[in-house]
Chain A
Amino acid sequence: MKIQKPIEPFFWLTFVCSSVVVAFILLPLIQMIVQPSFQDLKETLQDPDVRRSIWLSVYTSGLAAFISFTIGTPFAYLLARKDFLGKRFVESIIDLPIMIPHPVVGIAILGIAGKNHWLGHLMHQVGIHVMGTVTGIVAVLTFVGLPFYVNTVKAGFEAIPVRLENVSRSLGASLTSTFLRVTFPLAWRSILVGIIMCCARAISEFGAVIIVAYHPMIAPVMIYERFTAYGLKYSQPVAVWLILVCLVLFLLLRIFSLPKENQT
């Protein structure tokens, strides 16, 4: 026979709060997904502009994540392994893009991309344009996504005992070789999670993008435009498709990154 323990009031409090949180997140999303008719969804997807904007959203976020991976991985490793003067300062710089209001990010990037700034001037000379281009979108998305990548991967590197690297070096492997043969294979799961985090942050960016590049239109900008021009009914199907595409992509990544049974 099971022994019934009295349930404490605190348990009820946690239960009620959890239900409120879950409902608060799910209700609007479910409402939005079930509202458009199947016909609406089908027609929306047949619109080449919609397909183009969703594809643009996906691949600019992917590019932002790829850039974060390339330059963020060695940086995260440095932060995880080395102590240096001003490390705290550098770590807070990394967190800045999380705190800055999104339009400010856009304005800041335009500030250095303009011809008045030496960097902008230089970029113009080699033919790199930021205002109203895919390059601009990718730059903004990388700016906002990078902190999520670096922080996630840094935590991943920190979880790997430094002794494993010491042993590898004592066996004759150089620092590079050690990174490739020991650290990276052990950290790849957190690297993948970092990529997902970075992508997720990038694909949801709106405020900074409309300042730097209203056109070409990424999906959030298109949803916003349809909402202001035609109302809720026209913006919802695009939003549903964006959510579905993201969901599928992130699910796939999650499945690939699930731990295998024999590796824990």
Chain B
Amino acid sequence: MIEIEGLRIELSGFALQDIDLSIKDGEFFTLLGPTGAGKTLMLEAIAGVVPITSGRIRIKERDITALPPEQRGIGIVYQDYALFPHLSVLANVTYGLSYQRTDPQASRKWVEWLMERLGLQPLAHCSISYLSGGEKQRVALARALAVNPSVLLLDEPLSALDPNFREEIRDVLKKLHKEVGITFLMVSHDFAEVLFLGQRTAILNRGKIEQTGLVSEVFQRPATPFVAEFVGMKNVFPATFRDTKAVVDDLELYLQSPPEKDKRYVAIRAEDIVISKEKVSGNGINVFQGKVLELTDRGIYHEVAVRTGNVIFRAILTRGALFEMKLPEGKDVHIAIRSSAIHVF
């Protein structure tokens, strides 16, 4: 278990503050946020290579806040691999073994297993400069795991890779995590990556944690406008609430149930907004009339912006649907939103 309490790091012009986090043993935890949110800084603070201003870090009930990095038992894998360029693949992987107090026989077996498992055996005596990006990342993984750390920190391990290697390493990470049973803490700015890999996640923005929870939960029920937009909710509006109604500007949206107190926003996914030429009706469906404001080609689908009163909704249509509906910009359309698709927070 990793417990972080009241972590604070002040740098010139940036501060990571009020970080409270608890990560279970063997969990694949992800730390998600845009560039510049302070994710790498937080990893380096846990690893002990960045001094912290205040707060406590505990791993398996041992307070490691004041320990130097080499005594923390935390592995780190960087986005740019950070392999030792003057050493061969094998020498990189076995770099940390001489500092281990475990049985050398067992260590050697473990390293052999890792090299085999990550397909590095044929490359053992190669120089680092001959490796591809995916191979380098596998060496970095093997090197970090070779010393059997209690936690493995992964700093955007997929970002620097070509798309085909990215999938490969993503799968390797998922399988390896299951096999080795070590706690993984991965930093990422890509929600799709996290949906595939992570069990629980924390969303970091401007040095603060905005939301912590299961990945699916954060995806379905974002707690702040930032998180809502970050997980791809295209429609986030401030709202006031009356009984089972949400008032967004001059529109009234019917909700499934009366919201709890202190709610201030509604969010609707673009894929939950249905566009039609004819008016649809039915129970629990909000229907509005609007005008097509803008069509944006997004490759495999089109994004359609529809203005209803003062509110602009963003929906998506497949190429085929758009072709059939013949929607030029400025055309009158109807939109329908199920009340169950309206997320209140």
Contact = CB atoms under 8 A, between A and B. Distances in A.
Task: Check if A and B associate.
Answer: yes
A166 interface: yes
A233 B100 CA distance: 69
A166 B129 contact: no
B261 interface: no
B74 interface: yes
Interface string B221-234: 00000000000000
B99 A171 contact: yes
A2 interface: no
Interface residues of B, number: 28
Interface of B: 44, 47-49, 68-70, 72, 74-76, 78, 80, 82, 84-86, 95-96, 99-100, 127, 129, 143-144, 146-147, 149
A175 B48 CA distance: 13
Contacts of B95: 168, 171, 173, 181
Contacts of A161: 80, 82
A182 B82 CA distance: 11
A185 to B, nearest CB: 5
A264 B129 CA distance: 8
A263 B129 CA distance: 8
Interface string A173-184: 111010001100
Interface string A111-140: 000000000000000000000000000000
Nearest to B73: A172
B76 A166 contact: yes
11 contacts: A164-B84, A166-B47, A167-B76, A167-B78, A167-B84, A169-B48, A170-B144, A170-B149, A172-B96, A174-B70, A177-B99
Listed residue (B68, B70, B80, B84) with the most chain A CB atoms within 10 angstroms of its CB = B70
Given A167-B143, A181-B95, 12 more contacts: A163-B80, A166-B69, A167-B76, A167-B144, A169-B49, A170-B70, A170-B76, A171-B144, A172-B70, A173-B70, A185-B86, A263-B129
Listed residue (A164, A169, A186) with the most chain B CB atoms within 10 angstroms of its CB = A169
Given A161-B82, A166-B69, A172 B100 contact: yes
A173 B49 CA distance: 13
B68 A171 contact: no
B85 A163 contact: no
B290 to A, nearest CB: 52
A262 interface: yes
Nearest to B143: A171
Contacts of B149: 170
B69 A169 contact: yes
Given A171-B75, A171-B143, A172-B96, A166 B84 contact: no
A173 B44 contact: no
A182 B85 CA distance: 9
Counting chain A residues whose Cβ lies within 8 A of the other chain, the interface size class is 20 to 34
In order of increasing CB-CB distance, the 5 nearest A-B pairs are A172-B99, A171-B96, A169-B69, A163-B82, A166-B49
Listed residue (A170, A182, A185, A263) with the most chain B CB atoms within 10 angstroms of its CB = A170
A182 B92 CA distance: 11
Nearest to A188: B86
Given A171-B144, A172-B99, A172-B147, A263 B85 contact: yes
Contact of A173 (B74, B96, B129): B96
Contacts of B78: 163, 167
Contact of A170 (B47, B84, B129): B47
Contacts of A167: 76, 78, 82, 84, 143-144
A262 B127 contact: yes
A117 to B, nearest CB: 41
A257 to B, nearest CB: 15
A263 to B, nearest CB: 7
Contacts of B44: 166
Contacts of A174: 68, 70
B186 to A, nearest CB: 15
B68 A169 contact: yes
B184 to A, nearest CB: 15
Listed residue (B47, B48, B80, B86) with the most chain A CB atoms within 10 angstroms of its CB = B86
